[in-house]
Each structure stands twice: as structure tokens, then as C-alpha cells.
Amino acid sequence: MDRLEHLRALEEALNGASLDLPTPRAGSAEQIRARASRRLADHVIPRLESVGGPLLAVVGGSTGAGKSTIVNSLVGAQVSASSALRPTTRRPLLLHHAADGPWFERARLLPGLARLRAAPGAPATTGAAARAELEMRESEALPEGVSILDAPDLDSVVDSNRMLARGLFDAADLWVFVTTAARYADAVPWEVLSQAPGRDLTVAVVLNRLPRGAAADVAADLRRLMAGAGLGEAPLFTVDEQPLASGLLPGAAVAGLRRWLEGIGADARRRAEIAHQSLTGAVREVAASVGDVEEALAEHDAALAAAADALDTQVDRAAERVSQATADGTLLRGEVLARWQEVVGAADFTRKLGSGVSWLRDRVSAALRGRPAPVRPVEDAIEAGLASLVREELSRVREDAESAWESMPAVAGLVDAAEEEDRASLDERALGLTREWQRDLLALVREQGASRRAGARLMAVGVNVVGVALMIVIFASTGGMTGAEVGVAGATAAVAQRLLEAVFGDQAVRTMAGRARTLLLDRVRGVLEEAVRPLRERLPEPSAVADLAGRRGEVQDDWGLR
């Protein structure tokens, strides 16, 4: 790719660089990004696309300094509105020699401004502030090769004026800075003007409205300021205070400025040099700005990653809590135990378990015959316990995730925007999980009972009873439910364990319990993740910072800026 393509790619990368989170640098970085992108589009790219065009001399300064009056006087006609109202100029006016017209037709300089062509003799208008426009006019009074742009005021109270004026300065090859005896030390225009040397920009200063008598002193003071700002070499043109004739200064008052412009226009080599300097200066500054934007993007992406991590952490913690509570007997309380004991028959059942599976089968079958669906109440009790545990964690994980984000300034604002889930849907999700897992379990049991031997026993005891036994074993399994400490829950779990072992054998029971537990925890993770999903969805995409850095590197290489 060539220089131009690299610059276009950089512009595209800049336009795509999103700074969506309010990180500390986001605000300033967004402005830097917008300005860098605009400079490429307004000036650098169009200049490279259509080489050899006339220079653009932007006339800038404070409102009322007499910019429009100077421009009118240069061309000897009232082409730009000047008035006692501040600010007057809203719409920039570009004046060029007729011979340079075709270049301006071709080049897409300042593409954000709608072109408005005024006939050479048409009266001046100020333009509406609402639309970003650039008025173009031919003028035979200007030298070929140098165009002049009368800009809105640099330090305007009108935001759009100020932004526009700075954007125009960014697109300039030459700056003609107009100030007055009264205002030459104003801070704001100097802040802009002092950027010129760093950009190798060619500058001329016009000191307007010099009161007779004070001319020498004021001019000397201004020269001192200019030297301090690195503009000691720039020409200074002074214009005495004098009455205007039809709004214009006499030709002699602006003769120095005109000669300077004509000198540049007549010297093709100098013109090419000035154009090259302004271009290189702009590319250098843009590349440096892109570096700043990259830093902000890296900060943005780090904040993004931290926010995503915070969600992961809360999901992990909630999953861990569920994992604990489903393994330490917490779920084997009251209702579950009571109902399970009804299934396997009173407390003395444990004692008789030694007599083997046939007894157990008889006991359970009898129970099944005696009461139509004695296993159903245990299933319901387990379902209720598990569902309420999960339900609680679903609310909590969302709340914890929200408080984690609230303490992170970059994403605190996203919390309110995230969609809230109603209680009913959380209830439903928790219950849904429980039922799906119960189905998983029954499928596991059936699968395990596929062998002939186990199958017969499974049939005898009943798939649902075995399924319930499996749940009980899982809920009691790893948490201190063994040994001397065995309480009612432990004893009950032991019965379930024995029952399962009698049906499948102990190795198969271990495998099954392990698989069932994994299935449960996977499902739990799924619903927990779902609970924080509305937050996760609010997170913007990571920025393409690496891409931007790559594009900047290409441009820097092209321009020898590394």
C-alpha cells in the first residue's frame, strides 16, 4: 500500500476506534481522536489525492479584529460581510484565483463543509450558523497558487464558530493571524498561534487598528510576544487605524500583506515547500495524537476486561456456594428426610438393610403398592429445596454483580441501563433447572440400568425411587456426612447409598453420582451466567487498539516519523 492508502486506513481505524466507557481519559481522548480523524479528512488526504493545488492561507483571529475587512481590502471588494455585530463571520469564505478553480472542484478539501458557490459580483452574506458551509468565490485580485479563507473567530462565544475556526486552521498551509492594538495579547488566539512552529507552519501576523503615535511601541511589544512563541521569523504587517471607504481600507494599508502573498504565489518551489511542510507537520501531529488515543483505548479495554472479570468472579462465587450447599447436607432437611423415610420405611430400616436387596425391594415395592406414588413427595421436596437455593443465588449473583460494577466508575453507569428480570421469571428459571436436572438424573439411572442384571433390580425398586436415592447421595456426599458424626441426614443418605449400591454396585454409583453432580453444576453455572447476561450485554466491544497502532506505524514509517 502507498502513503495515501495507509493514511486512509489510519483514518478508517480512527473512525472505528470506540471509546464507549467513561474512563478517565475517554473525554479528552475522544476529542483528540475526532480532531486527528478530521485533519486527515479535511487536509492531509485531499492534499495527497490532488497534489499541486493552491496553498490555503487561513485568515484567523479574534472577533472584530478586522479579518473580513482585511480580506475585503485585499481583493478590493466587499465579498465578506463585516459589521459591528460580534461575531459577524459564521460561514467561512474561500477566495481563489480563477485558474485554481478546477483544482478546488476536484479536491475534497474540508469535505464536511457544503460548498456554496457565489458569483464574483454577488453581495456578501454572513451565512446561517445552522449548516456547515463553505462559500467559494473567484477573485482576480488574488495571485494564482494562493487562496485565502476568511474564517470565523477563533475564540468565539459561539461554540460552532470556535470549532469551525480551529478546524480551518488545522487545514491551513499558511496562517494569516489578524489582531489589533487592543487585543494582541489575548490568551486564546496565542494558544492557537503558538502551535504553528511545532507544525512548521508559515505564519504572517497583521496588527490592525494601530492608533497613531502608539504604533512603534505596540508593534515592538507584539514582536517580543511573537519571538517568545517561536514566531520571531514571521512577517508582521501593521495597519494604522483609519476611516474605511465603503467598508474597505485603502490598498496601501494592506499592500505589505498582498506583496507577501504574491511573493509566495510567484515562487513555485517555495509553494511546494510550504505545502510539504504543512502536510508533514499535520501527519506528525496526527500520528502523535493517535498514540494518545491508543493509550486511552488500552485503558478502555482494561476497564472492559475488569468489568467482565467482575461478572465471572460473581458467577464463580455463586456457583461455589451452590456447589457447597448441594454437597453438605443442607438440602437434606426436614421435608426431604421425612418423605424419604416414608419411602424406605421407618428408622429401623437401616438396621435391616443388611439382609440385602431382596428385602429392600420387597419393602420398597410394598410401599409403592401401599401408597400410589410415595416417591413423588420426596421428589417435590427435593425440587423445592434445590429450586429455592438456586433462586436465591440467581438474585444474589445479579445483586453482587451490580454492586461490583457500581464500584467501577467505567461501568457504573451501565447498571441502570441493564434490563431487570422479574421475580416470576427467576422462579421459573430456578424451577426449570431443577426439573431438567431431575430428568438428567432419570436418564442416567436408566442408562446405568441398561445391563440385564441392574435392569431387573432397577425395575424392582423403581426408576424414580432410585433417582431420588441418587439425589440424596449427591446432596450428602462430600460434606462431612460420614463416620461417627452421621446424624439423621447421614443415616438417611447411607440408606440411599446402600440402595444404589445394591442395584448398581458401588463403582457404578460413584461414577453416576459424579456425573449427576457435574450435570447439576453445569446447569447451575448456565443459569447464573444467564442472570448476569443483561449486564454483560451492556458491555461494548473491545476497541481495535492493535489495529490502530498498526496503522499508525505504517504511516510513521512512510513519513520517516519513527
What does the binding site for Mg ion look like in residue numbers (CB under 5 A)?
A: 67-68, 88-89
For position 68 contacting ligand GTP by CB under 6 A, the verdict is yes
Helix residue ranges, H only, 267-356: 268-325, 334-344, 349-352
Min separation Cβ 209 and Mg ion, Å: 14
Report the distance separating Cα 184 and Cα 210, nearest Å: 11
Fill in the per-residue mask, 233 to 252: x = in contact with ligand GTP (CB under 6 A), - = not in contact: ------x-xxxx--x-x---
Min separation Cβ 410 and ligand GTP, Å: 40
Q: Quick one: which of 526, 25, 100, 10 has its CA closest to 300?
A: 25
189 contact, one of Mg ion, ligand GTP, none, CB 5-8 Å limit per kind: none
244 contact, one of Mg ion, ligand GTP, none, CB 5-8 Å limit per kind: ligand GTP
3-state class of 117 per DSSP? strand
69 contact, one of Mg ion, ligand GTP, none, CB 5-8 Å limit per kind: ligand GTP
Q: Quick one: which of 530, 525, 523 has its CA closest to 316?
A: 525
Q: Which CB, 56 or 476, lies closer to ligand GTP?
A: 56
3-state class of 242 per DSSP? coil
Report the distance separating Cα 257 and Cα 280, nearest Å: 25
Residues listed for the chain: 562
For position 37 contacting ligand GTP by CB under 6 A, the verdict is no
3-state class of 404 per DSSP? helix
Taking CB under 6 A as the binding criterion, the range among 83-91, 137-145, 275-283, 437-445 that sits at the site for ligand GTP is 83-91
Which three three-digit cell numbers place residue 58? Answer: 487561513
For position 127 contacting ligand GTP by CB under 6 A, the verdict is no
Min separation Cβ 131 and ligand GTP, Å: 17
For position 208 contacting ligand GTP by CB under 6 A, the verdict is yes
Q: Which CB, 184 or 437, lies closer to Mg ion?
A: 184
Q: Quick one: which of 442, 515, 435, 446 has its CA closest to 474?
A: 515
Min separation Cβ 189 and ligand GTP, Å: 11
Using CA atoms, how far residue 293 sits from 17, 37, 44, 206, 284, in Å, is 9, 11, 19, 36, 14
For position 363 contacting ligand GTP by CB under 6 A, the verdict is no
Min separation Cβ 401 and Mg ion, Å: 56
Among 54, 64, 281, 377, binds ligand GTP (CB under 6 A): 64
Binders in 134-153 for ligand GTP, by CB under 6 A: 152-153
Q: What is the DSSP letter of 478?
A: S
Report the distance separating Cα 129 and Cα 2, nearest Å: 39
93 beta partners: 135, 150
For position 67 contacting ligand GTP by CB under 6 A, the verdict is yes
Q: Which CB, 248 or 535, lies closer to ligand GTP?
A: 248
Report the distance separating Cα 150 and Cα 130, nearest Å: 18
Residue pair 55/147 in contact by the 8 Å Cβ criterion: yes
Give the footprint of ligand GTP on this chain (CB under 6 A).
Answer: 63-69, 82-84, 86-89, 152-153, 208-209, 239, 241-244, 247, 249
